[in-house]
Amino acid sequence: MKFEDNLKNLEGLVGRMESGGLSLDEMIAAFEKGRKLVETCRKDLESIRLKIEKVTSSGAVESVKIKEDGDIEI
């Protein structure tokens, strides 16, 4: 999924949670899904930041990948 899609999904979850119309089980499930989306967005932003740093320092664009454990693969 794209960063924008993940952010939109996260915003939708927050809206549903703030509405007060969820049961406790639904709230917990939404919270867990939201935490995963936040982590995915954080990794995406870090990857983007690293790409920008590479472009500005070397002038060439190189792919940067963040592994499942959060380590960066260049």
Each residue of 8-58: pLDDT tens digit? 999 999 999 999 999 999 999 999 999 999 999 999 998 888 888 877 776
Number of domains composing the chain = 1
33: CB partners within 8 A, 6+ apart: 13
pLDDT at position 53 is 80
Q: Where residue 66 falls among pLDDT bands split at 50, 70, 90? A: low
Residue 70 phi, psi (nearest 5): 95, -10
* CA separation for the pair 65, 74 (Å, rounded): 6
pLDDT of residue 57: 73
Which residues form the domain of 32?
A: 3-73
Is residue 69 within 8 A of residue 39, CB to CB? The reply is no
pLDDT, position 54: 78
Rounded to whole angstroms, how far apart are CA atoms 41 and 20?
Answer: 25
